[in-house]
Structure 1
Amino acid sequence: MPKLIKMPKLSDTMTEGTLVKWHIKEGDAVDMGKIIADVETDKATMEMQSFETGTIAKLVVKEGGKVALGAPMAVVLAAGEAAPADLDAFIAANSEAAPAKTEAPAAKSAETTAAPAKKGAFAGTLPPTGPAPKKRAAAAANGVRVKASPLARKVAEERGVDLTKLQGTGPGGRIVRADVESAPVGGTASGGSAPAKAVPSIRPVAGPDDQRIPLTGMRNIIAERLLASKTQIPHFYLQIEVDAAPLMAFRKHINDAAEKTGGVKFTVNDFILKAVIRSAVAVPAVNASFDGDAIVQFKHVNLSVAIAIPEGLVTPVIREAETKTLQEISAAVKDLATRAKNKKLSPDEFQGGTLTVSNLGSYGIDQFSAIINPPQAMILSVGSIRNVPVVNDKGAIVAGQRMWLGLSGDHRVVDGAVGATFLQEMRKLVENPALMVV
């Protein structure tokens, strides 16, 4: 019997993927584990492997097409196997795409919509959760499709929120996650009255020569998560200027020695990451998250490093960073950056971060205030190192090197004094860099 290659779950928040490129064509032989396609998820573009062995009989999805979790992408025949007479009918009969789509026809009943979801024939499919069938029926009851992001629909299912009673604040009135999370459970205000009307988004006026660029999955999730972060997390900001001259001198000394011996050379960012890790160990209150009725303080420092790629911004994680040496941290961040730009990161490498570092110093940015990466409680922004006149201990104006560090904190978790203590620890390490390697 022919086998279907289906869309796997390549990230924890993924509900659909975009087929960017096929690496195979109809008639090609494939083995299990062979790279067959590039798929864009809500976090990154990743390589997809084949889960079957055989010959490609049909490519179901065209490049650029969106594919729901568990939906068929290709048909594979075993050695010597003939394709069914009606291949399209075989694909339709074995398709599990219906429950994963974000819209349902008005004529479908809740039972009809829910039925295919019980098959669960593929490990990568998203299992049904909460009152999904009821929600779909309500959304289609008046024949009008509810405009909502896949993540908003998922959260609505979990919370039992009726999307038909919400008004979105996203682009074009689209319901986003923040709208669902700010709505009362059930989608109505207390006392059964209708929820307060959301403020409509202000749309741009595009001219005939302006280009409209559709949101990619990654850019869409960035928009939703950062909107949720700024509207749901009470941010506060601290800035500190540190003397970067000792760090630059220490780095030059180490790199000069490495050049003679063929050793590892370190970037300024390597030292900053090490200082952040050491400071988080010294001030563990920043390595935490808000969890409703509790604060979760993490045992390990899983450091998220912001890396810019053409498609957007990714934050892969250096796990248990407090156990790693400066050389191991340097190697880890270089490896993550290279594989992020080559789309070689696996989904689990984006998950589980406990705090984030965003360094724009190489872009010539002196200082900035970053937006917290939820559900974390802190992000550190790193500016450029500048040659500036400074006043020394003797009151004389001399040449110096200064760098700004900024902390954005979730005030539900991190108090101002705690954030200040963390930055003081950062200053101590940057101005005494030998402490990082002892």
Structure 2
Amino acid sequence: MILKHVSTLLRREHAVAVRGFSNGTQPSLNGREDMFKIRLNCSPVERISKCSASNVPMSSGISTMSTMTGPTIFRGYMSYLSKLQGNIARWLKKEGDKVAPGEVLCEVETDKATVEMECMEEGFLAKIVKEEGEKGIQVGEVIAITVEEEEDIQKFKDYKPSSSDSGPAAPEEKAAPEAKAAPPPPKEEKVEKPASTPEAKTSKPSSAPSEDRIFASPLAKKLAEDNSVPLSSIKATGPEGRIVKADVEEFLASRGKETTAKPSKVTDSKGPALDYVTASRLAFSKQTIPHYYLTVDTCVDKMMSLRSQLNSFQESSGGKRISVNDLVIKAAALALRKVPQCNSSWTDEYIRQFSNVNINVAVQTENGLYVPVVKDADKKGLSTIGEEVRFLAQKAKENSLKPEDYEGGTFTVSNLGGPFGIKQFCAVINPPQAAILAIGSAEKRVVAGSAPDQFNVASYMSVTLSCDHRVIDGAIGAEWLKAFKGYIETPESMLL
């Protein structure tokens, strides 16, 4: 998404100078060595789209365009908060409002969280291109325009963004090297009018550059190839008429609707952006990571007894209660410190072992699944861990987590036992981590006593460790589970 700042577009100057500046450098038109001119014949408003191909981005993410006599176009590119898309949650400014650097213009809902988008230049909000509530806005699309002078607001009353008003493509949709050159002029009229099949004219997407050279992202090409779909039949919506993954998926979905009878009672709904990203990451995990699973039953009687004692002390001192999950997180962190091979990550060239033990905790909310991180969990007390988990869980429910709240994890704990009573399950590894621990519910079992005819009742909890076999061998995974079980069954050792 792009926020455009347009200065006083009053003069109709046809010579446009384009220059890129590094951080801290003021725009200037004196240096000829880094400046070039382009002859254009367009109105001030048209310059936004026609001149966009000549932008030279600064390292700070802002590009400038100036006429020789004054008018300047500033472009501020929003950081890649999401690799896919975002939604406009709400606008905090309205058209005509005066804005200043650092002021929040709107809230953008990404696949991870809702974040604030700040203004980069002083001026006035001339046009809101993407209204509040609009969804699926791709990175690089124009969302608003600001101007320096208040009288210029009316110039953009009827402004409509063109396909060239897009910024740099998102990282996942990075074009192949040969796609850096400008695409050749369209050739629809020459190619799409064979005498024998005049109806072929409508099958050619208007945004495709040409039939002999179709631009598409590597991911889109792979997806189209896997589904035997010719790129020429797909309508492109990406920058400069490029086909992206979403275009292929939309084509496949529409083709399915044409060939398959729709069920009589079906409700299709768009879920939160987080759901799609979670689905994509989990599919990637199962397709690329060789999972294997180790399960062990742990007696939790001593842990529950210690928890009861600690909570009595907490209540008497005005502190918060300690949960079973807090004890599990602490035990997992200490086990990772004892068996550091499990606190690692796979790369194509080497295995990376982390010195910090940062535990992601799965939290289910109405907005989807979040995995906030408790950093340095092995060095924190149970009370501190409990406070952080409650704080992060509340932020997740409010959809207000920041990137630092969920990034940097080295191991994940998922507990479906306490909240849902699930006895045992196998969790999918959270990439790029190498393991995840699935916690089941505790249940009472009859066990043999010390005497031949003696039987006792004890509470056992099933835990399953999912491992990346490229990083963690079976023996290493078993060693980690042994250490974890030891901390659960002798919980006093966690307090030492």
Query: Under a length normalisation based on structure 2, what TM-score does the superposition of the two structures give?
Result: 0.65
The aligned runs of 1:302-341 (5 Å cut-off) are: 302-341=358-397
1:388 paired residue among 437, 445, 461: 445
Contact 2:336-2:342 at 8 Å conserved across structures: yes
Matched, 1:297 2:353: yes
Tell me how far apart the structure 1 counterparts of residues 343 and 172 of structure 2 sit (CA, whole Å): 36
Alignment of 1:346-385 (within 5 A): 346-361=402-417, 362-385=419-442
- Say if 1:384 and 1:403, in contact at 8 Å, map to a contact too: yes
% identical equivalent positions: 32
* In structure 2, distance between residues paired with 1:101 and 1:325: 39
Q: Which residue of 2 aligns with 1:403?
A: 461
| Amino acid across the alignment from 2:106 | A
In structure 2, the residue corresponding to 1:402 is in which secondary structure? strand
SS at match of 1:231: helix
Structure 1 distance, partners of 2:421, 2:111, is 29
Distance 1:65 1:166, change over 3 A: same
SS of residue paired to 2:153: coil
Q: Which has the larger radius of gyration?
A: 2
Check conservation: 1:5, 1:74, Cα contact below 8 A.
no
Give the conservation status (yes or no) of the 8 Å contact 1:14–1:41: no
> How far does residue 290 in structure 1 lie from its aligned partner after superposition?
1.4
Aligned-residue offset at 1:91: 6.1
Task: Indicate the SS of the match to 2:441.
Answer: strand
RMSD: 3.7
Q: CA deviation at 1:426?
A: 1.0
User: What does residue 181 of structure 1 align with?
Assistant: none
**How far apart are the structure 2 equivalents of 1:348 and 1:168?**
38
- Could you tell me whether the CA contact under 8 Å between 2:444 and 2:458 is conserved in 1? yes
Residue 239 (1) aligns with residue 290 (2): no
Q: Which residue of 1 aligns with 2:188?
A: none
CA distance in 2 between partners of 1:4 and 1:347 (Å): 28
Aligned to 2:85: 16
1:261 maps to which residue?
317
Q: Bigger shift: 55-64 or 261-270?
A: 55-64
Moved more, 203-212 or 379-388: 203-212
Compute the displacement of 1:18 (Å): 2.0
Q: Which residue of 1 aligns with 2:284?
A: 228
Cα distance in 2 for partners of 1:79, 1:370 equals 56
Q: 1:212 to 1:143 in 2, by over 3 A?
A: farther
Q: Secondary structure at the match of 1:56?
A: strand
Write out aligned runs for 1:69-88 (5 A).
69-77=139-147, 80=150, 82-83=152-153, 85-87=155-157
1:163-242 maps to which residues of 2 (within 5 A)?
A: 163=222, 166-168=225-227, 206-214=262-270, 216-242=272-298
Tell me the secondary structure at the aligned position of residue 225 of structure 1: helix
Would you say 1:418 and 2:476 are equivalent positions? yes
What is the DSSP-based 3-state SS (H/G/I as helix, E as strand, rest coil) of the residue aligned with 2:478? Answer: helix
2:94 pairs with one of 9, 25, 42:
25
Q: Which residue of 1 aligns with 2:110?
A: 41
Q: Is the 8 A contact 1:244 1:385 kept in 2?
A: yes
Task: Decide whether aligned partners of structure 1 residues 4 and 26 sit closer, same or farther in structure 2, where only a CA change above 3 A counts.
Answer: farther
The Cα shift of 1:87 comes to: 4.8
- What are the ranges of 5 or more consecutive residues in structure 2 without an aligned counterpart? 1-5, 8-72, 174-178, 185-207, 229-255
| Aligned with 2:136 (options 51, 66, 69) | 66
Q: Distance in 2 between matches of 1:279 and 1:383?
A: 18
Distance 1:206 1:95, change over 3 A: same
1:57 matched residue in structure 2? 126
Q: 1:70 to 1:211 in 2, by over 3 A?
A: same
TM-superposed CA distance for 1:320, in Å, is 2.8
Q: Distance in 1 between matches of 2:140 and 2:159?
A: 17
Residue in structure 1 matching 2:308, options 233, 246, 252? 252
Alignment partners' CA distance in 2, 1:213 and 1:144: 36
